[in-house]
Structure formats: C-alpha cells, structure tokens
Amino acid sequence: MQYILITLLFGALAALTASGRLDRLITRLPLPAGQSGRLLLSSLFGLVAIFYFALISIVIIDQDRVGHMKKIYFGSALPEGRVIAVDGQQGPQAEILGPGFHFIPMVNFIYTIEQLSLVEIAPGEVGIVTALDGVPLAAGQFIATRFPQSQLAEMLNAEQFLTEGGEKGPQLAVLPPGRYRLNRYLFSVQPVDALDVPKGTVAVIKSNVREQEDCPLPLPSGHTGEALVSPLVPIGCPGVQEQPKTPNRYYLNTEAYDPVIVPTTIQTWSYKGGYTQREISLTVDSEGNITQRAKEFAVPIPKGVADAAITTTIEGWRVPVEVRVLVQVNPLDAPRVVAAVGTLNDVEEKIGTPTLRSVVRNVTGEPGRQVLDLINKRGEIEQQVAAALSPELAKAGVTLKEIRFGDPIIPPELLVARQREQLATQLEATYEQEQMAQLKRVEVERARAEATEQPRIVAAEINVKVAEQTKRQLQLQGEGEKLKLMEIAAGQRAQVEVLGQESAKQLAMLKEILAAAVQNPEIVKVPSVLVGHDASSLEGAAAVLGASNIVQWARDLSTGSAATKAP
C-alpha cells in the first residue's frame, strides 16, 4: 500500500510540472535566486525518483521460503475457468521466486509478493498432489495421469505443467520424503502414510487408473470349475495387478491404488465354544461304592477364533467338535485370492467356514459311523476331512496345511459304562497294591525284628557251633580213652603172661599205691618198726609207705574188698 501512495505522490508532481504549476510553486519557495535553485530542486527530485524506482523493483526471498506473485496492474483478465496466469494476465502467476535477491522493474508496484514455506514430506510419508488448475479431466477419469512419477520434476514446474497439458485435479505422481519448492497457488499437497509391507505378507495392488493404452481385457486366472474367476491385469492397467509387492516400503498414491495386505505365513482358523457341555462325575466312598452325579455348563466362544465349534449328529447324538485348520497363501496366489474373494478373512468367512462345516458333517455322518469313532478313529476322520476341504480352498488360492480335531464333546451317557469299568479296574488294582504293600510291610517288620535280635541269634549260632565242637572233642576224647584202655588191657594181659597173675596183680597194686601217695603225700610215714626178712610180703612196703592201715588197705585191695578211696 505504501508503494501505491508514493506512486500517486510522484504522479501528482509530474502533473504539476506538465501544467507549469510546479514552476510557479518553486518561485514562491525561499530558494537561491536564479537558475541554480531550480536545478537543485530538480536534482533532489530525480534522486528521490531513482530511489523509489529501486525500492519498488527489488525483492529478497528468504532461504526457506518461496516467492509467490499476484499481478494487480497491467494485464488482461484471466480466461474463464483458469486460476493461474501464464501469459501475464492479472491474478496468481505460474512463476515463482527462489531464495535470494531479485530485481524486477516495478515488481512491488505491479505485483503483490507473498512468501510461503517450502513443502516438506517427513520420512515414512508420501505427498498426494492436487492441481488447482489445468486441463479438465476426461469423463470417467478421476485422477490425472499426464505426468507419471518419472516426470515429477516437470510436473512441479508450474509453467511447464500449465503449458504442456497438465490436468486439473489429483495427480498420479506423488512426493517422496523431502523438501519441495513449488507453486502453492497451483498445487496443494496432503501428506499420508507410505505403504509398509511387513515381513510375512505381500501387498496386492488394485489399480484405479490406466497408465498405458494397450491394456488387455481382464482375464480370469485359472479355469472355471477348477478355480474361482479372478481377473488379473498387468502393472499399468486398471484392476487387480497380477504381480504382488513383496515386504518393503512403497511411496504409493493411495488415491490411485488400493493395497490389500495378504499374510503369507501359516494362519490358524479355530472353531471352539458355543455349546453346552454335560458331565457325569463318579465318586467312590471308603467302602468302594460308586456314586454318579450329572451337571452341565455353557462353553462360550473365545475371542479371536474363527467361529463356534462344529456340531454334528452321529447315532442320533448331537456332538460338538472343536477343529483347528492351518492354511497358507503362496505369494504368487495372493492376487488371485484378492481378485476372487477379497481378503484372507473373506476367504475364511465366505468359503472356509461354510465348506468346513459341511465337510465335517458329511464325513462324521457317514453310515455306520459311531460316536466313539471321534476318539478311536480320529486320525482317519481328519484325513478324510482334509481330502475333501483342500480342493475347495485351492480354488480360492489358499493351501490347506493341516486339520486337527480337538477332544470331542462325547455325551456323558456313552462314557459312564466305560468309566465305571475303568474305575472298578482301578479299585481292583488299588486293592492288589494295598495287599502287596501289607505283605511288604510284614517282610519289613520281620527284617526289622531279625535285625533287632541279630546279636542273640549270632550268639546262639556261636553256642551251637561251640557245642558241636565240644561234642566232637568229647567224642574224640572218648575214643582216645577207649583206645588207651584197650592198649592198657592188652599190656596187662601180656604182663600176666610174663610175671604170672599174682605178681602182675601185686605190681598193679603197687602202682596204685604209689599214685595215691603222689596225690596224698600225708599218707607216707617214717617207719617205726623193723623190717622183716620176708621181702616178698607187703609188710616191708607198708613199713616204708606208712602205718598198718595202708597195709590193711592193700590187703583189702588184693582181696577185692578195699574201699574205692585211699586212706
């Protein structure tokens, strides 16, 4: 505004000069007389005019700013429907001013200069660009494709964009992370999150734009009857692209492309809960009597499972069966999954669950099937269900890896007889164990008692052995004595044969007397009588050995009437 006021002031001075009124005004001023005064004033006026011209022609743009210009004077009006001027029309200009010093004659008078900040796209984001001016989009077209991503720099040049057929509206090309100096009058930028494809997944891209002219008609991948109809297209054509994006970060235009994340790791579909479970419990009292009690309770559907357990009918009994299914999507099959059904959850809800329920009921409901087959023939039934379910999932591009049944909810009435039998068997085994334990305890007590009496037992055993040894010793002594006596008798018989019976008898008596004298020295006395001349009689011996009593004892001994004990 100040530039306009100053310009009006100088315009008024020029008008006064042209009409001669300025000269008359100068003559009235107290200036030096003559031509020099007028020359001085004219010089001052010229310097002010030069300064003013420089002032309105210089623009300085900050380093992190972009100069935007709106033309106010001199120029035709913009054509109808246009927003940005390219050929010098009035209004917002396509040209922008970079940082630094700019000299444009009377730019501050003809234009309004606005300094706007740079456009910055943070890491992990992508900028969606919308053009506010340009060629209108064709019928049915919702995004501009004139400038692809490879021509991003040309697109961001506003003059080139407007003169080379740039289309008005959302642009296909996007801004990766960075700082951009662009015309904010022409382009608006909306930062959005970049596409991050995590590990264990792929991104199937549904394109909403035609980037090339020779796009073929979408054709199904597979044949009707063998696979679900799933039209796929090459990159650059509208439709589900046949090539998925592997784990990485992609700066994708979310206005032009719809990414669908498909997990390629093994997924689990669980079918649990949603039924009423009945139980019959058996108890045993101390006397071995069995009592049964019935109860029932509701089993809710856990969070995170695919659906409730599958209830099948076998032998007239309704039996809930919990099932776990493992599936996987090959990365190359992911586009077919998306094109034919949608997401993997859609496959589970629209194909997997209904088909699984039907297959399980058909297999378990075969003629001749028994309820207890769910326990006794579980593996066989699982294989039959997998064989029937796998082709149906393969039609949608999903591979069946494994199917497993949980413990079936068998009606308790069918298990009571078996449980009672098992309980009776266990009781019998328990009684046998208790009997064995009692016998073992008796053995232990016997061993403990033997251990306690062991010293006495050992002493008794030693005494027995000593007695046996003593018996043997006495026996041997007796036999020795017998042999001794026999030998003595034999010697005596030989002595009698040599000396005669009477002499042998007297000699034996003498030996007895001498032995008694050795044992009883007091019987030996000093003789007090004279010894006779008859040496063959016993008187001489009695005189030597003792008193007459021993003589009498010897006589008695010779006649066989002596006492057994010496005097």
Closest residue by Cα to residue 306 from 272, 277, 263, 347: 272
Distance CA 340, CA 227 (A): 9
> Would you state the pLDDT for residue 218?
61
In sign, the C-alpha dihedral spanning 235, 238, 243, 244 is positive
Is the CB of residue 344 less than 8 Å from the CB of residue 263? yes
Query: What's the pLDDT at 29?
Result: 55
Closest CA to 153 of 134, 127, 175: 175
The C-alpha atoms of residue 486 and residue 473 are separated, in whole angstroms, by: 20
CA pair distance 292, 417, nearest whole angstrom: 11
What confidence score (pLDDT) does residue 139 get? 87
**Cα distances (Å, whole numbers) of residue 157 to 86, 163, 179:** 12, 10, 15
The torsion of the CA quartet 176, 182, 183, 189, rounded to 10 degrees, works out to: 20
Task: Give residue 228's pLDDT.
Answer: 63
Q: How far separated are the first and last CA of the chain, in Å rounded?
A: 182
What is the reported pLDDT for 535?
A: 45
Give 126-190 as a DSSP string. Answer: EEEEEESSSBPPPTT--SB-SS-GGGHHHHH-HHHHHHTTPBSEEEEEEE-SEEE---TTTEEEE
Domains and CATH numbers, the chain: 2-117 (no CATH), 120-228+244-260 (no CATH), 267-411 (3.30.479.30), 500-559 (no CATH)
pLDDT for res 77 = 87
What is the DSSP code (8-state) at residue 76? P
Write out the chain's pLDDT in tens, 567 residues: 555 555 555 555 555 555 555 555 555 555 555 555 556 556 666 677 777 777 788 888 998 999 999 998 888 888 888 899 998 899 999 999 999 988 888 888 888 999 999 999 999 999 999 999 999 998 888 899 899 999 999 999 999 999 999 999 999 999 999 999 999 999 999 999 999 999 999 999 999 888 887 887 665 554 444 556 668 889 888 899 999 999 999 999 988 999 999 999 999 999 999 999 888 776 767 666 767 777 888 999 999 999 999 999 998 889 999 999 999 999 999 998 998 888 889 999 999 999 999 999 999 989 889 988 998 999 999 999 999 999 999 988 899 999 999 988 888 777 776 666 676 777 677 777 777 877 887 888 787 877 787 788 778 878 888 888 888 888 888 888 888 788 777 777 776 777 777 776 777 777 777 777 777 766 655 554 444 444 444 455 545 544 445 555 555 555 555 444 444
Which residue in the block uniquely carries the two structure tokens 């497993």? Answer: 404
CA–CA separation, 222 and 232 (whole Å) = 10
Q: Check residue 387 and give its pLDDT.
A: 95
Distances (CA, A) of 71 to 77, 95, 106: 10, 11, 11
- pTM summary value: 0.61
147 φ, ψ to 5°? -110, 105
